[in-house]
Amino acid sequence: MKRNLVFISVLLGCMVIGVGCVSSGEKKAEKLAGLTLDNEEIYKCSSDSDCVSVLRDCCLCDGKVAINKKYAKAFNQSKSERCAFVPCTLQMCYVDITPKCVEGKCGGDLIEPPAVMP
């Protein structure tokens, strides 16, 4: 999956260079759409309010990660296209975090699951 995302990103980049007439707004949108969790830029922050939690990958059980809120929409859009046909199960799955900024990087504390009555 990761290899496909990198290939698509490179292909899109080459198309932009070849055309040479893409507006700056379109270039910015393409750059944001190509962001992955490997890109350190999406974690940068200066306060807790800069950070939001997003699903790490396609399924809820993959967990959540905190990223800068300005990248959340593009990250979620690229993920929803990539994950359109990925089957997920939700049995015994609970992962949530409280996003926060620590030393200039978004992170998060695990939120304990609610107690379940027997």
pLDDT in tens, 66-109: 999 999 999 888 877 778 888 887 665 767 889 999 999 999 88
Same domain? 62 vs 104: yes
Residue 74 covered by a domain: yes
Same domain? 50 vs 65: yes
Query: What is the model's pLDDT at position 111?
Result: 83
Q: How far apart are CA 99 and CA 109, in angstroms?
A: 7
Same domain? 91 vs 60: yes
Same domain? 84 vs 105: yes
How many CB atoms are closer than 10 A to CB 45? 23
Domain of 104 in residue numbering reads as 40-113
Q: Which two tokens stand for residue 62?
A: 């993959």
Q: What is the mean pLDDT of residues 31-49?
A: 83
Q: Given a cut of 80, is residue 17 above it in pLDDT?
A: no
Residue 55 covered by a domain: yes
Residue 46 DSSP symbol: S
- Residue listed under structure tokens 């260079």: 17
Q: How far apart are CA 24 and CA 35, in angstroms?
A: 17
